[in-house]
Amino acid sequence: MIDSTVAWIALGLACAPDGQTLRAIRERCASPMTILVNDAEGEGVDLLLPPPAREASLKQMAAARREAEGVRAIGGEVVGFGDARYPPLLREIGDPPAWISLLGDPGEADGAAVAIVGSRDASLAGEQRAFEWALWLARRGVAIVSGFARGIDAAAHRGALAGGGRTVAVLGCGPDVLYPRAHGVLRAQVLDAGGAILSEFPLGTRPARWTFPRRNRLISGLSHGVLVVQAQARSGTLITARCAGDQGREVWAVPGAPEDPRARGTNALLRQGARLVENPAEVLEDLVPWAGARQRDEGACAQAIADQSDEEKNLLAAMEHRPVDIDTLALRARLPVTAIAALLLGLELRGQVRRTEGMRFQRS
């Protein structure tokens, strides 16, 4: 059986057509199969691909079929550019892949999605920021997209998971390759929590110098905006931010002191016009136009921020008007430290709690 998805794979393997061509094929003949098997109908349809590209694609049909079967064998599926499950945001970019491999759930088409990215070689403070901001946004229904790398990426995925939200990991290798090797558990957690692992590379593709920059355009392409929480001067993260700019997506950057080499990249983005953000609520604010059905419900967004859970009330009761460290609070409130951190962040953003030096907290 020759199906439409296989034809999209073959096209991608053979000639990787640009977004304009992909969109034209999708609009005019629904499937590239129409062109490839040479029974093109309708005006100009056979002009969409030059004959050499068509021949090269036909030669890739067997490989394309093997690819689709191989991805199914690892529990995923291949999604072609014209398929219903292809992420709509990704379809809009200049250089979308003709097909992607997808494990898990790509999410609601109308949900808000934010990429949280940064350096592999992050500081503890940077990872904590990524974790807390991802958690905060995930709790409010925003999907967190990132690159599954060490450092900031992993912290962002983990924050989204801790917030009970959905996270999408875009790989710089084939969907069957585990990289970094230490992220086996994270991979399973992303899928278990209803998130997705996504790759545009064929099975068995090893991560390489050239795969990461390509991967980065998908991270921004799958998102309404890119939030750079920490990045050095020459970080791959800046490529993702540039892609976001080219794709007309928002770019948010968190400022940092000039003495901190890990802030050079975000400060450079601010010079280039990225939006300066100091807390995740500012990111959410910019997302309102795109926010999903839940957020569109008038006032729901503000309500989510204003709501005070019982847990928060318990925590406030356990706090004092002088600084107390987080471990003491965890003991008093009988909650794990990560839960405390999440609650404190919400309280801090609403001005009910103040953070002092050395990660100590007090009631305002």
CB of 256: closest distance to its own copies in angstroms? 5
Looking at beta carbons only, is 272 or 303 nearer to its own copies?
272
Question: Any contact of residue 94 with its own copies (CB under 8 A)?
Answer: no
Q: Which residue matches tokens 């790509």?
A: 106
- Our finding on whether 41 is near its own copies (CB under 8 A) is no
User: Token digits for 31?
Assistant: 């499937």
Question: How many residues line the site for its own copies (CB under 8 A)?
Answer: 20
* Sole binder of its own copies in the list 270, 301, 315, 318 (CB under 8 A): 270
Q: Is 346 in the site for its own copies (CB under 8 A)?
A: no
Instruction: Decide: is 278 part of the binding site for its own copies (CB under 8 A).
Output: yes
Q: Could you say which of 180, 207, 245, 255 contacts its own copies (CB under 8 A)? A: 255
Residue in 129, 139, 183, 249 binding its own copies, rule: CB under 8 A? 129
At 155, phi and psi to the nearest 5?
A: -65, -35
- Kindly give the pairing relationship between strand 167-170 and strand 196-199: parallel
Q: Which amino acid makes up residue 207?
A: P
φ, ψ for residue 149 (rounded to 5)?
-85, 175
Sign, CA dihedral 38-39-42-43, equals positive
Nearer Cβ to its own copies (42/258)? 258
Interface with its own copies (CB under 8 A), residue from 256, 265, 292, 346:
256
Determine contact, residues 246/223, Cβ cutoff 8 Å. no
| Token pair for 155 | 């912290």
Residue 350 interacting with its own copies (CB under 8 A): no
Residues 6+ apart with CB under 8 A from 317: none
Kindly give the pairing relationship between strand 353-356 and strand 196-199: unpaired
The reply to whether 271 sits near its own copies by the rule CB under 8 A is yes
For position 257 contacting its own copies by CB under 8 A, the verdict is: yes
Distances (CA, A) of 234 to 39, 134, 199, 261, 270: 50, 24, 24, 10, 15
Residue 183 lies near its own copies (rule: CB under 8 A): no
Q: Which residue has the tokens 């992420």?
A: 87
According to CB under 8 A, which one of 259, 289, 306, 310 is a site residue for its own copies?
259
Least CB distance to its own copies at residue 225 (A): 17
Under rule CB under 8 A, residue 264 binds its own copies: yes
241-243-248-251 Cα dihedral, nearest 10 degrees: -10
Q: Report the candidate in 199, 195, 202 with the shortest Cα–Cα distance to residue 219.
A: 199
Q: Does 125 bind its own copies (CB under 8 A)?
A: yes
- CB closer to its own copies, 20 vs 272: 272
- Full strand arrangement of the beta sheet holding 360-363: 324-325, 360-363, 353-356
- Contact between 364 and its own copies per CB under 8 A: no
Look at residue 167 and give its three-state secondary structure: strand
Residue 285 interacts with its own copies (CB under 8 A)? no
Closer residue to its own copies in complex, CB, 38/364: 364
Q: Which stretch binds its own copies (CB under 8 A): 72-80, 153-161, 165-173, 255-263?
A: 255-263
Residues that bind its own copies (CB under 8 A): 125, 129, 254-261, 263-264, 267, 270-271, 276-279, 355
